[in-house]
A and B are shown apart, each in its own frame.
Chain A
Amino acid sequence: MHDDLIVSFNLVALAAFVAAAVVAARRRHRADIGGSAFVPLVGSLLLYAFIVSSNVVEHADITASFDPLEDIAEVVFTFMFLFFVNNWRKDRSEARFRALFVSAPLALAEVAPDGRVLEVNQILTEQLRQLFGMAVADVPTMAAWLAVAYPDPAYRAEVEAAWAERVREAFASGRPIAAEERDVTCADGTLRRFLVGGNPIGENVLVSFVDVTDRLRSQAETARLQEQLLQAQKLEAIGVLAGGVAHDFNNMLGAIIGFTELTMDELEVSHPVRPNLVEILTAAQKSATLTRQLLTFARKQKGTPTTVGVDRAVGDLLGMLRRMIGENIELAWQPGAEGGTVRMDPTQFDQIVANLCVNARDAISDVGRITVATSLTSIDATSAAVIGDAAPGEYVLISVTDTGCGMDKATKAHIFEPFFTTKAPGQGTGLGLATVYGIVKQADGRIAVYSEPGVGTTFNVFLPRHLGEVGLVSPTAPAEVPRGRGERVLVVEDDPLVARMCATMLERLGYTYVVATSPREALRLIDVDGAHLDLLLTDVIMPEMNGRELRARIAQVCPQIKHVFMSGYTADILAGDEAHADHFLRKPFAIRELGVKLRQVLDAA
């Protein structure tokens, strides 16, 4: 009874062991095990099958005995099974390494201690083909690879020595081989930057290659764009600051000029104080020019845009430019923008060319050559990024090249800032390029500089090409100062000094006036006196309300009233409204300009 039970147990066990061996053999390809694990597995299963069969024999009262054999078999089983597990685990990690080696997004090669290349993964195979035009078989050894990648023997020797040293260190410390950046020469002669590192595996070395060329390139590109942006923002900020200061300054200069003129008018021609006043006037007028340049830089100065034929405008300037740059410097003119026109203030256009030529002259210490060239060009999306994010489209390019001293990077970074100059005090104001920058920006153009210290400089100015019809030249003003006929003018000006000056000028010109120092006061005066007013002379930038709004409010009450805006700014409030140009007086203004403007507006239908 007992033996029957034992026999049946063992028969079941026998069946299970044999079945396991059969399953293992038939589905071997599905398991992550190689021959070294598979053989001991099946071996140990069959061995135990033998042991249980011997148990069956024993308990079935068959006389033969396998006892000693059975014990030996059990011992062998233990070892064999141990073998299986051990090899199985090894296979497993080998399989894992293989998978990584093949699918890692990294170029890898396994190299033997003698320098033989044992295996190369897919990515490296691909790179060898693409960059070096080689098959894996073309680089059987590390030496063959080095000869291809580093054609310069000196550099190759350095790379080789450094690599050997790092491999030695890695083996000694058990750590990965420190990665190093190397410039590898490709089949087409270009250099690519690779990060070469690795890991010791067993006695071999697993070498990894990472191509960092594109990453470095895009980093450099990002840095460049960032710098460009910073530069533009800096100039913008300076512009706002300078514009603000210049605006106040302009008002005060206006008062100085105005009052000086008024005083001079009252003095006899032979009066002893008169020469002093003339000095004051000239100084103030010079200052006004400076502030106007600042306002141009800050793009607060509007100018009167007309259509400028570029080649013709530059051609007209040549005489003046020749005189300006002197005899030692040759001036070459290469017109190439036939039919190219731009829409901007002609004086401002001249200012661009003149300023660039003056700088070119200053850069040439002795003899040299300045070339002014024009051409028609279009900027597409790709080149746009290069030229400081210009909008793609048709442009006229004006380039001024000199063979002067050139600039280093540090200087170049600052040239468009107002008051930046490398010239001796009294020689440079540092406003030339700031003005150019302001004008070009206002015209939606771009400016690019190429300079090499000791070689020369090229300024490229891109101005959007105007494709409309040619504009009319505005008529010149009459010589006489036109006088008032007792018309009543409402002056609105928050700066009391300027307000007082306007009042005095108006009186002198034969007008009557009321003065309001704020828009609110002006509106109150209109309520009282509106019917008797002929003209509104108002500042544009004021607290509470700007001049334009004020005019609109007043026009509701007394529609007959005419208006003139006066401002140092031609800020955004007025920009883009051509109709207002006729009603606009730039501060500071002389009494004559005021007279002309008032008459012109009052006499208009």
Chain B
Amino acid sequence: MAPSTEVFVLVIFLCGLPFFHAMLRDPALRGRRLFFLAYVLLTVSNVATVLEEWWAHDAFDTCEHLAIMLGAAAMLGAVVQLTAGPPRPARARPVDPA
């Protein structure tokens, strides 16, 4: 694996963090904490990917994939929370263009 592309991916992930953090402020977004946690875990996996190239390869590799697994679990939890609510109300009737 070329380390340069992995560093690039990590940078992209890190750049996304503040955007995801912003969603934490809206309490009406259901499952937002788990979505954020999932994203953080995926970012962590990318950090491990970069580090494993230099030392403790196996340990960091394990770490990387463990983080991905936990991130996937968090993602599942988030989606379950997001879709846990009752069906949402009908929309306002738009103007009949006819």
Question: Of the 9-residue stretches A77-85, A169-177, A395-403, A435-443, which lies at the interface with chain B?
Answer: A77-85
Task: Among A2, A23, A78, point to the contact of B61 (Cβ < 8 A).
Answer: A2
Cβ B83 vs Cβ A6 within 8 A: no
Cβ A82 vs Cβ B16 within 8 A: yes
In the bound complex, residues from chain B placing their C-beta under 8 Å from that of A455 are none
Cβ A117 vs Cβ B82 within 8 A: no
Cβ A81 vs Cβ B89 within 8 A: no
In the bound complex, residues from chain A placing their C-beta under 8 Å from that of B89 are 99, 102
Cβ A119 vs Cβ B92 within 8 A: yes
Cβ A74 vs Cβ B46 within 8 A: yes
Considering only residues 61-96 of chain B, those with a C-beta below 8 Å from chain A are 61-62, 65-66, 68-69, 71-73, 75-76, 78-80, 82-89, 91-92, 94-96
Cβ B9 vs Cβ A2 within 8 A: no
Cβ A92 vs Cβ B76 within 8 A: no
Cβ B75 vs Cβ A136 within 8 A: no
**Given the known A-B contacts A23-B83, A30-B83, A30-B87, are A92 and B26 also in contact in the complex, defined by CB atoms under 8 Å?**
yes
Cβ A85 vs Cβ B19 within 8 A: yes
In the bound complex, residues from chain A placing their C-beta under 8 Å from that of B84 are 30
Residue of B nearest to A76 (CB): B12
- A302 to B19: give the CA distance in the assembly, Å: 89
**Given the known A-B contacts A45-B75, A85-B19, are A9 and B82 also in contact in the complex, defined by CB atoms under 8 Å?**
no
In the bound complex, residues from chain B placing their C-beta under 8 Å from that of A32 are 28, 30, 85, 88
Task: Among B1, B9, B83, B96, point to the contact of A74 (Cβ < 8 A).
Answer: B9
Q: Which of B19, B20, B82 has the most chain A CB within a 10 Å cutoff?
A: B82
- A53 to B69: give the CA distance in the assembly, Å: 12
Task: Among B23, B76, B82, B91, point to the contact of A31 (Cβ < 8 A).
Answer: B82
Cβ B62 vs Cβ A5 within 8 A: yes
Cβ B95 vs Cβ A118 within 8 A: yes
B98 CB–A CB distance under 8 Å: yes
Cβ A117 vs Cβ B16 within 8 A: no
- A220 to B76: give the CA distance in the assembly, Å: 63
In the bound complex, residues from chain A placing their C-beta under 8 Å from that of B98 are 137
A17 CB–B CB distance under 8 Å: yes
Q: Closest CB of chain A to B23's CB: distance in Å?
A: 5
Cβ A81 vs Cβ B39 within 8 A: yes
- A12 to B74: give the CA distance in the assembly, Å: 12
In the bound complex, residues from chain A placing their C-beta under 8 Å from that of B86 are 30
In the bound complex, residues from chain B placing their C-beta under 8 Å from that of A75 are 8-9, 12
Which residue numbers of A lie inside 8 Å of B, CB to CB? 2, 5-6, 9-10, 12-17, 19-21, 23-24, 27-33, 41, 45, 48, 52, 55, 67-68, 71, 74-75, 78, 81-82, 85-86, 88-89, 92, 95-96, 98-99, 101-102, 117-122, 136-137, 140
A-B contacts besides A20-B76, A102-B91, 10 pairs, CB < 8 Å = A2-B58, A9-B65, A10-B65, A16-B76, A20-B79, A48-B75, A55-B65, A88-B23, A89-B29, A136-B96
A-B contact pairs, 10 of them (CB 8 A): A16-B72, A16-B73, A30-B87, A68-B5, A88-B29, A96-B28, A118-B94, A119-B94, A119-B95, A122-B92
